Structure 1
Amino acid sequence: MSLAEQIQKAWHDQAKWLVVLRPFSWLYRAIFLWQKTSKSKHAYRAPVPVMISGNITVGGSGKTPLIIALVEYLQSKSIKVGVISRGYGGKGEFPLLVTSDSTPEQVGDEPTLIVQRTHVPMAVGPNRQDAIELLLQHHHVDLILSDDGLQHFALQRDLEWVVVDANRGFGNEKLLPEGYLREPLSRLDEVTVIEHSAHPKTNLHMHLEPSKPYNLADRNQTFDVSLTYDAVVGIGFPQRFFNTLDNLNISYQKHAFADHHAYQASDFSAMKSQAMITTEKDAVKLKQLWHNDPEKLARVWVVPVQAVLSGDVYQLFNKQLLDLNPNFKINLSTFSE
């Protein structure tokens, strides 16, 4: 079990030894509240509305698939949308526009995936103001979606959506590092909460729907379910991917890496199978790693997922959009999921 998995398991299982980290959680809370207060006083207001999709926990919750689904919905309504992100894992130089030719090494894995899937105008950088200003220099947009950035209080926002993974829950409900909360649970009272669950208890919910795996080198190849694959994953909550493979009746060996892991050839030296299977987020990095080795690319199979949102989510989104800009009415006159 990787270190990332061990920490995630301790949080989820509410391991008793985590109490030794409580003083650090108190320190984290003090620093967090100070930063929230100080940065909010001088926060940047963008000239167009900003919506943030984020989470209050460490690790993946499904926010990037949600961003992709929202972008595709807005595009279908002819609403000009742009996206910003920190560009975690990218080396810049920031701020930087993301294009179809951008690599994960430059802009990060999630921005690369978002643009490859949607071709949306996008800019990345740790300074969100700089990213927005660069984006608006090159594109006219009516709305900006921020992939994460809920805790980036230097940026004013008009809408805040938080994805809550019902399968993970909140563990021991403690702040970092005793638990995996980035903010107190009371923060959920201030935002729109989207429940990520296949068996939801609320009206505002989503789930990830996997599709048939495709080959990274040739999408026309037929997937062989009888093989045992090396399951390679570097996301915030690796078990979600393994659960997906179980549901697809795929046999595999686990290889979990840290979120946003920068893959090296040595990571695969101990893998014994002739084929591996991975997420779309990891695939963009493997494609970069082996871009000159089609034989290795042909070994990689990718499981695509799509965020499926409830009708109530779309209805609420429409209402919030109209509140932001009544001119959107003509675009949203015909509701569709």
Structure 2
Amino acid sequence: MPLHARILAMVYGGVIALRHWLYRKGLRRRHHPGVPVIVVGNITAGGAGKTPLTIAIVERLREEGWNPGVASRGYGREQAKLPRWVEAGTEPHLGGDEPVLIAARTGVKVRVDGDRFSAAKALAGAGCDVVICDDGLQHYRLERDIEIEVIDGQRRHGNGRLIPAGPLREPVERAVACDFHVINLGDGRDPGVEAGFGEWPMQLRFGQALPLLGGRPRPLSAFAGQRVHAVAGIGNPARFFDMLRGLGIAVVPHAFPDHHEYEAADFEFGSRLPVLMTEKDAVKCAAFHTELHYSVPVSAELPEAFWVALLDRLTQSPP
């Protein structure tokens, strides 16, 4: 490992330690919006499955009679410091791809703001009685009642080193303080990936392929034995490709950087095959999709005991 990477990691670790100390001593203040706050996040850079879990939590809480709202930074959006309400029809470059996806899937109120406390306060003021903060584990200004760490089952905490020497945003010890540890097992087919002691297993299940031009959904089994172009601009594209291969689909993979802003030229693959892409990618392709393009939604499944434990913890949170 290059010496400069180790030195930068030490400097980064010092900044993190100072920030923690300032909050611990009260020199920086935490703020609570007045309704319970659930933070879904991770201590590693890159995707771990936070968005599917956030959607699952929203849907379950609504079934239980809560009125949830989602606070997010809206990574990569224009005018990043400008607070904004996000709806299903919001342009992803204004609202962020993940917030637009969450709004489209759930229909709940979604607020993006660089200041997660301000977003949570706006949601509480709009009638939400619980706030789910998507990717806010390191945003300490927002006081939270429940912390959920999401762990990629294949990569876990990597080499255990801080950025840029490794993938960690914070030391591994930080994860111990979280109330729940959810491990993303993908489709659960990899026998080498399993939940450990104190971890809750989460599996991702595909829905039907949704034509971006509209029309009837197609079961993914209809693509089995066929070659398709698979597009993923997410934190771990390989998981999406492997899940499709697990269904017998012959994948021609096209991996893009996380939060990639697509152009029509990105889809000039040289062959007219069906194009299967993640929901997060699909929300950014409305301007140039064709009859060949499909969005493949995923849903997170967790054991009922997880929901019992989460709801029990939530009802114990102060109003």
Return the offset for 1:162. 0.3
Measured after TM superposition, the shift of residue 18 of structure 1 is 5.3
Once the two structures are TM-superposed, the CA of residue 39 in structure 1 deviates from its matched residue by 5.0
Describe the SS at the equivalent of 1:274: coil
Structure 2 residue 11 is matched with structure 1 residue 27: yes
Mapped to 2, the partners of 1:33 and 1:272 lie a distance apart of: 52
* 1:203-250 C-alpha deviation (Å, 9 max, x unpaired): 622111122323222341544434322211100111111111111111
| CA deviation after TM superposition for structure 1 residue 65, in Å | 0.5
The answer as to whether partners of 1:166 and 1:195 remain within 8 angstroms in 2 is yes
Match of 1:218? 214
Percent of paired sites with the same residue:
35
Task: Give the whole-Å Cα distance in 2 for the aligned partners of 1:78 and 1:225.
Answer: 40
| Secondary structure of the structure 2 residue equivalent to 1:134 | helix
State how far apart, in whole Å, the 2-side matches of 1:255 and 1:271 are. 13
Partner of 1:266: 265
What one-letter code is carried by the residue in structure 2 that aligns with 1:323?
Q
Distance 1:104 1:274 in 2: 26
Residue 237 of structure 2 is aligned to residue 253 of structure 1: no
Q: Which amino acid aligns with 1:256?
A: A
In 1, Cα distance between the equivalents of 2:60 and 2:318?
Answer: 17
> What's the secondary structure of 2:149's corresponding residue?
strand
Q: Separation in 1 of the partners of 2:64 and 2:292?
A: 38
Structure 2 spans left out of the alignment, 5+ residues? 189-193
Residue identity in the other structure for 1:315: V
Q: How many residues align?
A: 303
**SS at 1:34's partner residue?**
helix
- 1:311 aligned partner: 304
Match of 1:208 among 198, 204, 214: 204
Asked if structure 2 preserves the Cα contact closer than 8 Å seen for 1:230 and 1:273, the reply is no
User: Partners of 2:88 and 2:159 in 1: how far apart?
Assistant: 41
| Richer in helix (by share) | 1
Q: What is the rounded CA distance, in whole Å, between the counterparts of 2:216 and 2:171 in structure 1? A: 47
Whole-Å separation in 1 of the counterparts to 2:166 and 2:295: 32
Q: Secondary structure at the match of 1:285?
A: coil
| Two-structure CA RMSD over aligned residues (Å) | 1.9
Supply the distance in 1 between the matched residues of 2:294 and 2:2 (Cα, whole angstroms): 38
Partner of residue 191, structure 2:
none
Shift of 1:88: 0.7
1:95 is aligned to 83
For 1:11, the equivalent position in structure 2 comes to none
> Partner of 1:331 in structure 2?
none
> Where does structure 1 lack aligned partners over 5 or more consecutive residues?
1-16, 291-295, 327-337
Distance (Å, rounded) in 2 between the aligned partners of 1:226 and 1:196: 27
Q: Which residue of 2 aligns with 1:293?
A: none
Give the 3-state SS of the residue equivalent to 1:324 in structure 2.
coil
Question: How much has 1:325 moved relative to structure 2?
Answer: 5.2
Alignment map for 1:127-138 (pairs within 5 Å)? 127-137=115-125
Counterpart of 1:322 in structure 2 is 315
Query: TM-score if structure 1 supplies the norm length?
Result: 0.84
The one-character-per-residue Cα deviations of 1:164-201 (angstroms, maximum 9, x if unpaired) are 12211222111111110111111121012112223433
SS in 1 for 2:285: helix
**Normalized against structure 2, the TM-score is what?**
0.89
